[in-house]
A and B are shown apart, each in its own frame.
Chain A
Amino acid sequence: MFASLHGRGNLRALAFEFSPVVEQAAPDTVTFDAAGLERLFGPVQEIAAAVLRRAGQTGVKANLALAANPDAALCAARGFAGVSVLPQGDEAKFLGSLPLGLLAPSPELQETLERWGIRRLQDLAALPPLGIAERLGPEGLHLRQLARGEVERKLVALEEPLHFSDELEMEYPVELLEPLAFVLARLLGGLTTRLATRGLATDELRLRLQLETRAFHERTLRLPAPSLDQRAFLKLLQLDLAAHPPAAPVLHVRLEANPVKPRAAQSGLFVPLAPEPVKLELTLARIQAMVGKEKVGSPELVDTHRPGAFKKETDAFFRATARSEKRPPPSKKGGCLGTRLALRVFRPPRTARVSIASGRPSFVAADGVRGRVLELAGPWRTSGDWWTLDPWERDEWDIALSDGALYRIYCAPPGWFVEGSYD
């Protein structure tokens, strides 16, 4: 069973949604192998209905023909408007009324046939094959077979370009994000369906909005793991656009997906619990929208002695959560090292007023901290980065105050600070 589409629109993309074997006979005509589709959709009429439905969704306007061989389907699609289903064995009868020009014979052959008065396929089909072979040679014989719908051949399959993008022109400029979400949902639906039919997923979505001011607003959404979760993509795009809204109403939307192989992970009974990557991305996007992007991530210590130095890494956290294989038990780093006294840091450090007696702090007052120093240890003098433009040095004290808490205070230009409390 073969199907042929002749008309306007992205015929190739439509054909690839239904079959991996697609031949493009002309820019406006494609033929694809429809064998096996009956298991998915049912009888031929249902297959035709499914193709037409999808064509309507993707904006394709084309004639559709289904036949037992590709050339009969191609002739019918070119010759008849709408949907044609050619019954097997009756192709010659079905195609008979079509003009001979549909078969695109060579000019000499066409001239000869016209002189013979043969203008329709049924006229050519009725001629005896032996006589045709004697007078017109192999080309004439092939043309007769085409006219009878009897040519059996394999399709010259196209290599599907792994390029997944879709775009939509607005009828009027869209100002709000909510109506834009409907457009994005439609584009995402098409893209994810096309990716799914090829057994692919995506790990990157690129959105390009053309604005009324003729400027472009571009956003790229990188996912920690390949996925096809259309609802998650839509929510992520909505959150991203809410955080970075376009500066003017939108006229044109183009959405592109980076095709990659889907993530195949075998979970085991004893594999530790970990969040599902796309769901985690969505959760983090929601939290980032609330508290700010720079405030969410995995802390990473920086290779310096500067107090309080760290950086935030979201990628490292995703890598760690995605790791499912069992690692050897941690020995020194990452293992339980006994209970350690933890410091609670005041960010920023609280400016303090410190009374000194015998060269030592005796009274400390700062925001939320006030008391007589009962016991203390220090000073611990530290310094670093003196070879850079941003050197630091400080004298640290661990103190027990009369308010009942333990603090770390330090003296550094321009004065005294409470760094945090031991807890």
Chain B
Amino acid sequence: MGAAVLQKQFEAVLQWQVRPSPETVRTGVPEVDAATGGLPRGCLTEIFGPASSGRTSLLVSILAAATVREEVCALVDAEDSFDPASAAAAGVCLERLLWIRCGHNAEHALKAADLLIQGGGFGLVTMDLGDTPPRMARRISLTSWFRLRRAVEHTPTVLIAVARQSNAKTCASLMLECARKRVVWTGGTPLLRGIDVRVSRRKPVREVTAGFKAAALE
């Protein structure tokens, strides 16, 4: 009798709670969206790869898609390497983008990203550590990444970190690795036409690969 009452009272509480899957947004690259299902809100997404692997092109596409949705975006630029002209050419609405130049200081970049997330209201916060040397990026403690993950949790903000190697480890909900397949040169007088990029999803574990072309400015 007592067990039945207890079961009735606590059954709902003790049941295995399935977390609802987060809302996702488009990256602006249909091939990547089809393969990964988009970028999850309230989660940390990590994009990594070596230099000239198409990470920044993917990031700029994500920014363009977010500003088209009229979201307010922030780019925390650890190495002061963002090129507004490239971004404008890719369709980023620059007036909806807050650009924070951290002057080669990854610690400032982390703090700035944390403040932006705590402030709230941003649709997309990106942290660009793409040119930060890997040994410097690895110095960022896992606690800091956990703090960022906790801060962005339960918010509608998409948090993206771009680096040469994966740093956030278990804190990232989605990991995309970029690699350059080939460089496209055309014309009698050679002309850089663009690059072919392969994007591999490293987390969640089931590996999915997508490819896209990043066209050079004409």
Residues of chain A having any CB pair with chain B under 8 Å? 272-276, 279-280, 282-284, 286-287, 290-292, 295-301, 308, 310, 312-313, 316-317, 319-321, 326-327, 329-330, 333-347, 375-377, 398, 400, 403-406, 420-423
Contact = CB atoms under 8 A, between A and B. Distances in A.
Contact of B83 (A283, A327, A344): A344
26 contacts: A273-B72, A274-B72, A283-B118, A283-B119, A287-B100, A291-B100, A291-B105, A298-B96, A298-B97, A308-B83, A312-B99, A319-B95, A327-B70, A334-B67, A338-B215, A339-B90, A340-B60, A340-B215, A342-B59, A342-B90, A343-B85, A344-B82, A345-B80, A377-B189, A377-B191, A400-B183
A334 B28 CA distance: 13
Contacts of B120: 275-276, 279
B99 A272 contact: no
Interface in B198-218: 212-217
Given A295-B103, A346-B81, A321 B112 contact: no
B167 interface: no
A219 to B, nearest CB: 22
A405 B52 CA distance: 5
B55 interface: yes
Given A273-B121, A275-B119, A339-B29, A405 B51 contact: yes
A421 B123 CA distance: 28
A297 B68 CA distance: 19
A375 B64 contact: no
Main secondary structure on B side of the interface with A: mixed
B63 to A, nearest CB: 10
B214 A300 contact: no
Given A299-B97, A347-B80, A340 B72 contact: no
A198 B28 CA distance: 48
A53 to B, nearest CB: 36
A298 B72 contact: no
Contact of B91 (A297, A312, A321, A337): A337
A312 B77 CA distance: 14
Interface string B52-77: 11111111110011011111100000
B40 interface: no
Contact of A279 (B69, B70, B81, B121): B121
Interface in B122-167: 122-123, 130-131, 156
Contacts of A283: 115-116, 118-119
A360 to B, nearest CB: 11
Contacts of A342: 56-57, 59-60, 83, 86-87, 90, 214
B61 A276 contact: no
A336 B100 contact: no
B88 interface: yes
Contacts of B88: 301, 333
B83 A276 contact: no
A341 B194 contact: yes
B122 A404 contact: no
A398 B85 CA distance: 17
B108 interface: yes
Size category of the B interface is 35 or more
B131 A344 contact: yes
Which 8 pairs between the two chains have the least Cβ-Cβ distance? Answer: A275-B121, A283-B119, A299-B84, A423-B56, A334-B93, A340-B90, A272-B70, A405-B52
Contacts of B183: 375, 400, 406
Nearest to A282: B119
Contacts of A320: 72, 93, 95-96
Contact of B61 (A308, A334, A336, A406): A336
The winner among B50, B97, B119 for most chain A CB atoms within 10 A is B119
A381 B61 CA distance: 29
Contacts of A295: 100-103
Contacts of A406: 52, 183, 192, 195
A1 B55 CA distance: 72
Contact of B81 (A291, A347, A400): A347
A403 B52 CA distance: 10
Contacts of B108: 290-291
Nearest to B214: A341
Contact of B215 (A341, A344, A398): A341
Contacts of B95: 298, 300, 313, 316-317, 319-320
B5 to A, nearest CB: 43
B91 A336 contact: yes
B169 interface: no
A337 B123 contact: no
B158 to A, nearest CB: 11
B89 interface: yes
B123 A272 contact: yes
B94 interface: yes
A312 B217 CA distance: 23
Contacts of B112: 287, 290-291
A405 B130 CA distance: 13
B34 interface: no
B83 A279 contact: no
A272 B69 CA distance: 7
A31 B99 CA distance: 55
Contact of B214 (A284, A340, A346): A340
